[in-house]
Amino acid sequence: MISILTMVAALTALAYAASSQLGRDTGALTSHSRRGKSDAPNGYVPGRVRCPEPRPSIRPAQDLSPNELAWLERRGNATMQAMMDVLDRVKIPDFDAKAYIRSVVDSGLMVPRVGIAVSGGGYRALMNGAGALSAFDSRTPDSTSPGGLGGVLQSATYLSGLSGGSWLVGSLFTQNFTTVDSIIHSTDGFLSKLWEFNETIIEGPAGLSVRDYYQELQDSVDDKYAAGYNKSITDYWGRSLSYQLVNATDGGPGYTFSSISDDTAFKEASIPMPLIVAVERPAGQYLIWENSTVFEFNPWEMGSYDPGNPAFAPLRYVGSRFANGSLPSSEECIAGVDNVGFVMGTSSSLFNQAFLQIAKVEGAPDFLIRSINATLAQIGEENRDVANWPNPFFGYNVDGNRNANTTILSLVDGGEDLQNIPLHPLLWSRRSVDMIIAVDSSADTRSHWPNGTALVATYKRSLLGAGNAQNNAGAAAFPHIPDQNTFVNLGLNSRPTFFGCDQANMTGPGPLIVYLPNAPYTYFSNVTTFDLEFTTEERQQIIYNGYSVATMANASADSRWPVCLGCAMLSRSFGRTKTDVPAACADCFARYCWNGTVNSADPGLYEPSQIVKPSGAALTHSLTTFSASLCLVLFFLHFVLLSG
């Protein structure tokens, strides 16, 4: 009897584990499981390549690149169908959304253009953002069921990331835009090596000794330096990130961000455009100005539309010796500088401080500590958070370019100017973004929850240059944002809120901001920004909480949420087409739009309660699934006993 009970218990446990994965593994699409492209000429070391015709050059930031303009035409066709599918599922009452979208296209107008921005905040931001993207991804099992929002990601034109958010964006696109679900539930040994946060980045991956791990980091950075390129702590940090975020031998030293432009799915515009954000810190400056120059990395270019450096350089050839905006005929083309880990490391250079703690790691080799100390001696202690890039803008536009007189371009963590949500590239008026979903995982309060600081910073920046030479005419208008105390006192930091609903109160055309702050729906995901190690269970819980934040717990917190997000997607289009706002959407805007109320009193210590308790429908669903699996186990056991 004991052996039979033991067998029952074991089989029951297996059945329960299998039931919790039901639909997960089958949801991973093999077409999205292949690796990205390693196209650098010499691993991590930049090297010479044949120059294309016409030769690479710097272009002024007066418009989007020809590549992006052509890509947008193709992307519009893909997002149109995806958006119709989403709107058909959410079903705005008394409104035929599919017919509306078709009429927009037939009239020659633009399909509503959506951007998603994933904030910084270390691993917390990566995991919370991953949950949101999983919720928006129609490839995620059950995401298109009632209450789900699958397809919003497929409807998006742009996906931007900053710092920890850049790790998410960079990792997914380097793996050919695989699904979050494929990574966290992979059992095939292929993607399962990604996002193993139980192996701290400071100690290296499992199966590799600490000494060998650091030897590989050291060799990569030394080889780059020996080839004549500057090094910084970000080189070490970026290479170490790749061991967790890039599914390739040795962290993929030859994987570049520009190689995304050659990915078939991206070229066909069947997936969004990735954008990663960093901030310039001019030589000799140790603080970031409010009117900072924000740089973006996209698959074709790096650069800015800001007044401090209104120009773009071809990302693949950014290491070439440009002068006065062109590449002299005597100079060769250099590729490989844009290593994907270095790009992600540049956007998150604030974490260089954490990496400098390696001297405390048991078994950390002396040679690496000496090398890092030597690097610090070269660049100065005050520049430990800097990523040194070759400056392709050297000598270009001397009167309007802060970087014209230096051969080194110093970039730092994209959140150092407090704009911790990467809204900036999505606010370029040339991109005509109608709605931005801002996924905020910032740690603004003492207990590491957001309080709107990132939105406040972007709002203040939008006002800073109004009416003077610093005003950036290329930026779309940004809606009015209340102070941080108001966010907390009115609960705007614990639920979705729309900003900019009434364009009459804005200084010009601009997107609707859908603010999605991290909140404890199913799990207290307020881990500190500099936590570097998480168990698999913690990772899954934080990702699932992010899923719940995005869906408002599959609409259990508000059954109207899917309809309201659909209305937000169409909001700006209603204005362009002079379409009366459906009654259901008017109700949604009354419910979710910030109405201008301000409460600036000190809110005191912010300690939220868990929003969704593990009971009700969720518990019933789990028990139902478990019971069905248990019945199968008992039937199998009964058959075995009768046969025996």
pLDDT digits (tens, 9 = 90+) for 31-61: 344 456 789 999 999 999 999 999 999 999 9
What pLDDT band is residue 140 in, cutting at 50, 70 and 90?
Answer: very high
Residues 6 or more apart whose CB falls under 8 angstroms from that of 318 comprise 302, 337, 338, 389, 390, 392
* 285 — pLDDT class (breaks 50, 70, 90): low
Residue 152, pLDDT > 60, answer yes
CATH number at residue 191: 3.40.1090.10
Q: pLDDT tens digits, residue range 229-247?
A: 988 889 999 999 999 999 8
In a domain, 307, yes or no: yes
Q: Answer whether residue 620 is part of any domain.
A: no
Confidence at 351, pLDDT banded by 50, 70, 90? confident
Q: What is this structure's pTM?
A: 0.88
Question: Is pLDDT at 614 greater than 90 in this prediction?
Answer: no
- Residue 189 in this model has a pLDDT that exceeds 80: no
Under a CB-based contact definition with an 8 Å cutoff, are residues 513 and 498 in contact?
Answer: yes
State pLDDT tens for residues 239-273.
999 999 998 889 999 999 999 999 999 999 999 99
Give the least confident one: 330-334, 529-533, 592-596.
529-533
**DSSP states along 353-374:** HHHGGGGGSTT--HHHHHHHHH
Residue 620 has pLDDT above 60, yes or no: no
- Mean pLDDT throughout 502-519? 91
DSSP class of residue 390 equals: E
Does the structure show a pLDDT above 50 at 448?
A: yes
Instruction: Tell me whether residue 84 is in a domain.
Output: yes
d(CA 364, CA 22): 42
Q: What is the largest CA-CA distance in the chain?
A: 89
Confidence check: pLDDT of 77 > 60: yes
Residue 302 has pLDDT above 80, yes or no: yes
Q: What is the mean pLDDT of the segment spanning 466-477? A: 57
Both structure tokens of 195: 């996002």
Mean pLDDT of 60-68: 97
Average pLDDT, the chain: 86
Q: How many residues does the chain have?
A: 644
Domain count, the chain: 1
- Cα 389 to chain centroid, rounded: 22
Sign of CA dihedral 179, 184, 185, 189: positive
CA 565/CA 568 separation, integer angstroms: 5
User: What is the C-alpha to C-alpha distance for residues 262 and 268, in angstroms, rounded to an integer?
Assistant: 10
pLDDT of residue 6: 34
Distance CA 237, CA 354 (A): 9
Q: Does 640 reside within a domain?
A: no
Place of tokens 């937000």: 568
**Structural domain includes residue 375:** yes
Residues pairing with 38 in the sheet: 255
140 is a domain residue: yes
Q: Is 319 helix (H, G, I), strand (E, B) or coil?
A: coil
pLDDT top residue among 566 and 7: 566
Of 284-288, 338-342, 345-349, give the lowest mean pLDDT range: 284-288
Cis ω on the peptide bond leading into residue 54 (within 30° of 0)?
A: yes
| Integer Cα distance of 586 and 87 in angstroms | 16
> Residues 451, 444: contact at Cβ < 8 Å?
yes
Question: Do residues 68 and 428 touch, judged by C-beta distance below 8 A?
Answer: no
pLDDT band for position 226 (cuts 50, 70, 90)? very high
Q: Has residue 500 got a pLDDT over 80?
A: yes
**Rounded average pLDDT over 421-435:** 97
Would you say residue 622 has pLDDT above 80? Answer: no
Whether 2 is in a domain gets the answer no
In a domain, 18, yes or no: no
* The pLDDT of residue 362 is above 70: no
* Confidence bin at 291 (pLDDT 50/70/90): confident
> Which residue range forms the structural domain that includes residue 383?
33-612
Instruction: Say how far apart CA 1 and CA 491 lie, in whole Å.
Output: 57
**Of 102-111, 378-387, 463-472, highest mean pLDDT:** 102-111
pLDDT in tens, 205-225: 988 998 899 899 999 999 999
pLDDT of residue 618: 42
